[in-house]
């Protein structure tokens, strides 16, 4: 005999009550402070970076909000910071033996999202940036580097290999110096960079900056450490006005191609680049 409607509603109500009670006690008793400390210590142990989180708050069983997140190096230099990070842990990923995490944050006037899957046979990280204002980036401001523009693009890394593709719009530099020599103020409508990552080596497939006064093309590879090697081919094409203004500097560049680009290469290391004319 089928139970009547009132009985069904009563049973459903009891079930909902126990589910709500379970979730409430889980949220109230879950050791978020211990989780926060564990995340901070894992970053410190496994990387040369330091992570600080002021508070972790639950939004649902597998959704959390991290407040006042700061990522810095061991000297205390801030590399990334944001007031709020929304994190989602995939329960389905746990069933497959993966730690799957999605992170979204508003930072530097734009949005940043990170997707990570970590397991025995899979190590994957994807980063997407949308309209980040590089002029508001703390590290550049602290270094006194006056640049502006909007950055967007993506980076995907699987194991020790990855691909990157980024676009900068309205890139501008002001009052820059390189090894004590002043660099003319420059404006670029757009700048593209595409490349492949293997271990700590980054191979540039495309690096192009296009502006009214200067066009730049770069290809080659570099090892992403302070003493990592550089092997870059650089091409510059200044406007007539800039060519006259920088005639002395351009006189050092002996090679030009059929399109009017001046050619030179960069060797040495990332920390101490050495131009070869």
Q: What confidence tens digit (pLDDT) does each residue in 221-277 have?
A: 999 887 889 999 999 999 999 999 888 888 888 889 999 999 999 999 888 888 887
Residue 29, pLDDT score: 43
Q: How confident is the model at residue 10 (pLDDT cuts 50, 70, 90)?
A: low
Tell whether 217 and 105 lie within a shared domain: no
Is the Cβ–Cβ distance between 62 and 52 less than 8 Å? no
Residue 239 lies in a domain: yes
For residue 20, what are the domain limits? Answer: 1-30
What is the count of structural domains for the chain? 3
Residue 16 lies in a domain: yes
Tell whether 177 and 119 lie within a shared domain: no
Residue 94 lies in a domain: yes
State whether the Cα torsion 62-67-73-75 is positive or negative: negative
Task: Return the structure tokens found at 174.
Answer: 């002001």
DSSP H or E segment with residue 140? helix 138-142
Q: Tell me if the pTM is above 0.85.
A: no
Is the Cβ–Cβ distance between 267 and 231 less than 8 Å? yes
Spatial distance between the Cα atoms of 198 and 201, rounded to a whole number of angstroms: 5
Residue 70 lies in a domain: yes
Helices and strands in the chain: count of H runs, count of E runs:
6, 17
Spatial distance between the Cα atoms of 156 and 150, rounded to a whole number of angstroms: 20
Spatial distance between the Cα atoms of 235 and 220, rounded to a whole number of angstroms: 12
Q: What confidence tens digit (pLDDT) does each residue in 69-121 have?
A: 998 988 888 889 999 999 888 766 666 667 788 989 999 999 999 998 877 77
Residue 259 lies in a domain: yes
Q: What confidence tens digit (pLDDT) does each residue in 38-74 have?
A: 778 877 877 778 889 898 887 777 788 899 999 898 8
Residue 44 lies in a domain: yes
Is the Cβ–Cβ distance between 246 and 205 less than 8 Å? no
Tell whether 239 and 173 lie within a shared domain: yes
Tell whether 219 and 179 lie within a shared domain: yes
Spatial distance between the Cα atoms of 216 and 141, rounded to a whole number of angstroms: 24
Is the Cβ–Cβ distance between 48 and 75 less than 8 Å? no
Tell whether 124 and 224 lie within a shared domain: no
Is the Cβ–Cβ distance between 209 and 187 less than 8 Å? no
Tell whether 173 and 257 lie within a shared domain: yes
């Amino acid at each position: 005999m089928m139970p009547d409607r009132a009985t069904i509603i009563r049973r459903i109500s009891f079930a909902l009550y126990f589910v709500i009670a379970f979730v409430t006690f889980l949220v109230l008793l879950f050791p978020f402070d211990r989780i926060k400390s564990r995340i901070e210590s894992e970053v410190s142990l496994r990387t040369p970076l330091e992570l600080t989180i002021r508070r972790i708050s639950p939004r649902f069983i597998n959704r959390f909000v991290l407040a006042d997140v700061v990522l810095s190096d061991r000297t205390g230099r801030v590399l990334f910071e944001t007031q709020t990070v929304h994190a989602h842990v995939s329960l389905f990923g746990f069933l497959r033996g993966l730690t799957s995490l999605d992170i979204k944050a508003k930072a530097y006037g734009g949005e940043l999202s990170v997707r990570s899957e970590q397991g025995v046979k899979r190590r994957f990280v994807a980063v997407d940036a949308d309209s980040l204002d590089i002029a508001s980036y703390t590290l550049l401001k602290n270094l006194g580097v006056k640049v502006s523009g909007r950055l967007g693009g993506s980076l995907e890394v699987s194991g020790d290999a990855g691909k990157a593709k980024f676009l900068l719009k309205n890139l501008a530099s002001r009052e820059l110096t390189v090894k004590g020599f002043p660099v003319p103020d420059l404006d670029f409508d757009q700048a593209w960079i595409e490349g492949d990552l293997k271990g700590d080596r980054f191979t540039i497939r495309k690096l192009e900056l296009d502006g009214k006064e200067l066009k730049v093309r770069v290809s080659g590879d570099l090892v992403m450490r302070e003493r990592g090697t550089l092997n870059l081919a650089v091409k510059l094409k200044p406007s007539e006005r800039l060519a006259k203004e920088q005639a002395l500097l351009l006189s050092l560049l002996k090679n030009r191609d059929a399109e009017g680009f001046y050619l030179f290469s960069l060797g040495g290391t990332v920390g101490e680049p050495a131009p070869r004319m």
